[in-house]
Amino acid sequence: MAGADLEDWEPDTEAKIGSKGALVSYATQTEKLSKDLAERLALGACKDNPWPSRKFKKFLLDNVNRRGGQPCGRPVRRPARVMPQGRRNREGT
């Protein structure tokens, strides 16, 4: 569901550059490149990144009721095999 909803999602330009901060620092400090060129290199290095963990995090934040911690639709029922042992006994499953 998250993969389909966010298939084309990417972070904004600043977040992409921030994710390659070490590259920008190296390029500007060690290689003495301009900040603009270093940031363009960082964007190029991000080109093929699928951003999987950020997509999932964005999906969760967009689809979870922040006050109650419940999904914004019908509740999700988990099979007993994925429930922690203590919860299975309390819920009678």
Instruction: Give residue 78's pLDDT.
Output: 63
Instruction: Give residue 13's pLDDT.
Output: 92
- Stated as kind and residue range, the H or E segment containing 59 is helix 52-63
Distinct helix (H) and strand (E) counts, the chain: 6, 0
pLDDT in tens, 7-41: 677 788 998 999 999 999 999 999 999 999 999 99
CA-to-CA dists, residue 18 to 3, 4, 40, 48, angstroms: 23, 26, 12, 16
Global model pTM greater than 0.85: no
pLDDT in tens, 32-90: 999 999 999 999 998 888 776 677 777 777 777 665 555 555 666 666 666 666 655 55
d(C-alpha 13, C-alpha 11), whole Å? 7
Instruction: Give residue 26's pLDDT.
Output: 96
Distance of CA 53 to the CA centre of its chain: 4
Residue type at 50 in one-letter notation: P
Instruction: Give residue 60's pLDDT.
Output: 76
Per the structure block, which two tokens stand in for 49? 């990144």
